[in-house]
């Protein structure tokens, strides 16, 4: 199977090919084709941590490589043909620096554990819902931006480029597009449904920053949004260093968090659903659903946001 992602409004397509080379990883989702499967749990849990805003998040630093493979093997909720569905534990990064313990780094061992032999697993992702600090100016629309990766102060960061020249495009600048729709608002925040129509690292995070509404828990790009006399504006991306997200006192009270706890908030960007076409044109599509993780649900309740 050659994993072929086609980003549309609510689906990912794939085509047949030799071998099994696709894995779908998302936070806590099951499979639905007329019904929804409940994800399997894992017996391995990290211990409690003081001042932790989201108890139960996985701490990869507490696990060995072998233990992480065991956790992921237990988290497989569906395996059909070329598609393996994994309930990725919250707190486990998908990618990282060389030597980091990530989902990508243990895919070869996971493939062996699942009996796939030398067949390669690949990750397919498509975040769908986000809780934002701030409310977009319009209830729905599209976000277009030319983006590029730049190495700034030892980190690879995504920065917007306007307007991109032909030389910029040849040097790695990509025109990106996302659709958004505000689902609910409350306490100065919004629950936003996002659909990327292009693929670029951190695309949705940067797109929401350009809307002056950074994703809650975005400790990489939220610093680009500043406020003076209650008015938000963008700081230059090239000269703004990443830092822990700073939330105002009213929002901290709503979330029942201290500033130090807010600095540990996970990114509130969550894959909601994917619709896969069946193997044959008349087959019923397979819908993969991602139940909200506990911390996401808790935040919705604290902010009075109700998902439609």
More confident residue, 68 or 124: 68
pLDDT at site 9: 24
Mark whether 138 and 257 lie in a shared domain.
Answer: yes
Q: What is the pLDDT of residues 41-96, one digit of tens each?
A: 444 444 445 567 776 677 777 889 999 999 899 888 778 766 787 878 777 888 88
Mark whether 160 and 233 lie in a shared domain.
Answer: yes
Count CB neighbours of 24 within 10 A: 25
What number of CA atoms fall less than 13 Å from residue 268's CA on the CB side?
29
77 within a domain of the structure (yes/no): yes
End-to-end CA distance of the chain: 36
Cβ distance 139 to 181 under 8 Å? yes
301 within a domain of the structure (yes/no): no
How confident is the model over 185-205, as a mean pLDDT? 93
Mark whether 63 and 169 lie in a shared domain.
Answer: no
pLDDT at site 33: 39
**Is residue 301 pLDDT above 70, yes or no?**
yes
15 within a domain of the structure (yes/no): no
Opening angle at CA 212, ends 234 and 191, nearest 5: 165
80 within a domain of the structure (yes/no): yes
Looking at the 3D structure of the chain, how many domains does it have? 2
How confident is the model over 128-157, as a mean pLDDT? 92
Query: Whole-model pTM?
Result: 0.75
Residue with tokens 């990766």: 149
234 within a domain of the structure (yes/no): yes
Mark whether 135 and 257 lie in a shared domain.
Answer: yes
Cβ distance 26 to 37 under 8 Å? no
How confident is the model over 221-234, as a mean pLDDT? 95
Mark whether 113 and 168 lie in a shared domain.
Answer: no
Mark whether 55 and 165 lie in a shared domain.
Answer: no
**Is residue 3 pLDDT above 70, yes or no?**
no
**Is residue 2 pLDDT above 60, yes or no?**
no
Mark whether 281 and 254 lie in a shared domain.
Answer: no
> What's the whole-number average pLDDT of the chain?
79
Q: What is the pLDDT of residues 162-187, one digit of tens each?
A: 888 888 777 889 999 999 999 999 99
107 within a domain of the structure (yes/no): yes
If you count them, how many residues does the chain have? 308
Mark whether 258 and 277 lie in a shared domain.
Answer: no
**Which of 47-51, 169-173, 223-227, 232-236 is the least confident region?**
47-51
**For residue 274, what pLDDT band results from cuts at 50, 70 and 90?**
confident
267 within a domain of the structure (yes/no): no
Mark whether 137 and 118 lie in a shared domain.
Answer: no
More confident residue, 208 or 7: 208
Mark whether 85 and 133 lie in a shared domain.
Answer: no
Mark whether 117 and 168 lie in a shared domain.
Answer: no
Mark whether 141 and 250 lie in a shared domain.
Answer: yes
Q: Which domain holds residue 195?
A: 129-262
pLDDT at site 55: 67
114 within a domain of the structure (yes/no): yes
pLDDT at site 57: 73
**Which of 70-74, 106-110, 164-168, 262-266 is the least confident region?**
164-168
What percentage of the chain exceeds 70 in pLDDT? 80
**For residue 134, what pLDDT band results from cuts at 50, 70 and 90?**
very high
């Amino acid at each position: 199977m050659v994993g072929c992602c086609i980003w549309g409004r609510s689906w990912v397509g794939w085509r047949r090919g030799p071998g099994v080379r696709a894995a779908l990883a998302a936070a806590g989702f099951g499979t639905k084709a007329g019904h929804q499967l409940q994800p399997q749990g894992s017996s391995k849990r990290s211990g409690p941590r003081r001042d932790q805003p989201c108890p139960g998040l996985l701490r990869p630093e507490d696990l060995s490589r072998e233990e992480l493979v065991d956790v992921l093997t237990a988290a497989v909720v569906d395996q059909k043909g070329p598609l393996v569905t994994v309930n990725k534990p919250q707190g486990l990064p998908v990618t990282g620096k060389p030597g980091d313990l990530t989902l990508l780094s243990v895919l070869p061992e996971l493939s062996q554990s699942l009996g796939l032999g030398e067949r390669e697993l690949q990750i397919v992702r498509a975040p769908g819902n986000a809780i934002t600090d701030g409310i977009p100016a319009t209830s729905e629309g599209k976000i277009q931006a030319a983006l590029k990766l730049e190495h700034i102060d030892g980190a690879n960061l995504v920065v917007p480029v306007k307007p991109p020249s032909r030389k910029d495009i040849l040097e790695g600048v990509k025109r990106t597009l996302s659709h958004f729709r505000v689902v609910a608002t409350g306490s100065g925040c919004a629950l936003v449904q996002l659909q990327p129509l292009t693929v670029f690292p951190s695309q949705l995070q940067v797109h929401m920053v350009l809307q002056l509404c950074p994703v809650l828990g975005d400790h990489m790009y939220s610093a680009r949004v500043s406020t003076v006399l209650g008015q938000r504006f963008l700081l230059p991306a090239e000269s703004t260093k990443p830092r822990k997200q700073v939330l105002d006192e009213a929002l901290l009270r709503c979330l029942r968090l201290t500033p130090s706890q807010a600095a540990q908030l996970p990114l509130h960007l969550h894959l909601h659903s994917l619709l896969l076409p069946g193997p044959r044109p008349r087959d019923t599509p397979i819908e993969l659903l991602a139940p909200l993780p506990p911390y996401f649900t808790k935040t919705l309740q604290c902010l009075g946001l109700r998902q439609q």
